[in-house]
Amino acid sequence: MAMETTLRPTTAGSTGGTLGTRAGAASRLVKTHAAEPTTENGGAGKAASSGAPAPAPLRSNAASIGGALQDQVARAQQALDYLDQVASQLESVKGELTSRLTSARGAARQRSDSQASTQLGAQVRQLASTLSARRKRAGGGVDANLNFTGKPAVQRFRIRGLDLASLRSAGPQSVAFSVGGVGGPQLSVNLDPDQTDEEIAEALNRALAPMGVNAGLDGQGGFVFTTPEANWPAVKDSIAISGRGRVATEEVPAELAPQQWPANGTGDALRASLREVVQALERVRRSRDAAGSALSAATVEMTQATTPPPEAQDAAQEFASTASNPDYESLLSLTSALVGVSRERVLALLGLR
């Protein structure tokens, strides 16, 4: 998906500019033109004499680049780095588990069990620490089950007491949902016991989707809900249902839970842990493939984007001229233009060279 990014003010009437995103054509560097000065109330000259600051050059002639596409590249690169680290740690745990399961049991081996358990425990704790730091280190594209889809990761959760059995036992009804503070918008849905499980789930999904929450079946007679991880803090304690008031939510736990693996477990316990590790490695492999494909596609799209040479040269010359002028307005333009340009975005751009 091609996205376009513009240097634009953060708020209406703001004098500063940030690097924002908006949907558009293939990423291009396009020179824009400042609005013509008005003659109302004496024109621009009187505005200047009254103390109003003059528009900064870089804000009035903003350059357009594929910022959202750069974010996509950065997210895929961070995901790959994080998944590589997780894969390496999983391989270490897998090797230790395999060694303990296949080694001959003898007196010497029994004496070394304590040392082996300590080593396995350290590796498991390191993996658990890496998994707990996922939201900060994975670029926002890897979910709790180590899946990468190219979209922002989502949080899976359940609403306590809301399942198919409870809805059907109440007979035909209209259920209203709200997400947010008291007095927030409410959306209702008509439910009937004669509806299929899928129809009830789809009805709930239609009611909640405008609030940033999606609903589906969990295969066990209940529902599983999802919302972008960035929205989860605002959603988890703010869902209300008509007739029930504020309801409790609970996160669906991640499939990989190394903190529950016993370092001194029996053969069966170690084999169960090994199965989890192997399954996790397979998910990581698929996610790495998906992140690699997303990175390649975004890179190709960015390199194939057409940039009008004259306009690009004009924009570069304008930036260079402004940077060489040390007056207040020039410094203000440069500073405000660079607000919001993150380290990850710069690294993503450098990685395309």
What is the block-wise mean pLDDT of the chain (353 residues), using blocks of 10 residues? 37 36 33 39 42 44 55 89 96 91 60 71 93 93 93 93 90 89 73 93 93 91 93 91 90 91 78 93 96 89 64 70 75 68 66 56
How far apart are the C-alpha atoms of 26 and 4, rounded to whole Å? 7
pLDDT at 99: 86
Cβ atoms 2, 27 nearer than 8 A: yes
pLDDT for res 21: 34
- Cα 191-196-201 angle, rounded to 5 deg: 60
222 Cβ partners below 8 Å, 6+ apart?
158, 162, 163, 164
Give me the pLDDT at residue 89, please.
96
Q: What letter does residue 124 receive in the DSSP assignment? A: H
Strands 3-8 and 64-65, bridge-based pairing: antiparallel
* Alpha-carbon 281 to chain mean position: 22
Q: Where in the chain is the domain with CATH 2.60.40?
A: 154-251
List, edge to edge, every strand of the sheet that includes 3-8.
18-23, 3-8, 64-65
How many Å apart are CA 136 and CA 139, to the nearest integer?
Answer: 7
Report yes or no: 22 and 4 within 8 Å, Cβ to Cβ: yes
| pLDDT of amino acid 215 | 95
- The count of C-alpha atoms lying within 13 angstroms of the C-alpha of 216, restricted to the half-sphere facing its C-beta, is 7
**What global pTM score does this model have?**
0.63
- Collapsing DSSP states into helix, strand and coil, what is residue 15? coil
Q: What is the pLDDT of residue 275?
A: 93
CA distance 349 to 302: 10
* Closest-CA residue to 226 (of 327, 303, 280, 147): 147
343-351 helix and 67-102 helix, angle to the nearest 10 degrees: 90
Vertex 95, ends 101 and 148: CA angle to 5°?
125
Question: Is the separation of the CB atoms in 150 and 76 below 8 Å?
Answer: yes
Q: What's the confidence (pLDDT) of residue 324?
A: 78
Distances (CA, A) of 87 to 186, 220, 283, 284, 297: 44, 31, 10, 7, 23
For the structural domain made of 154-251, what CATH number should be given? 2.60.40
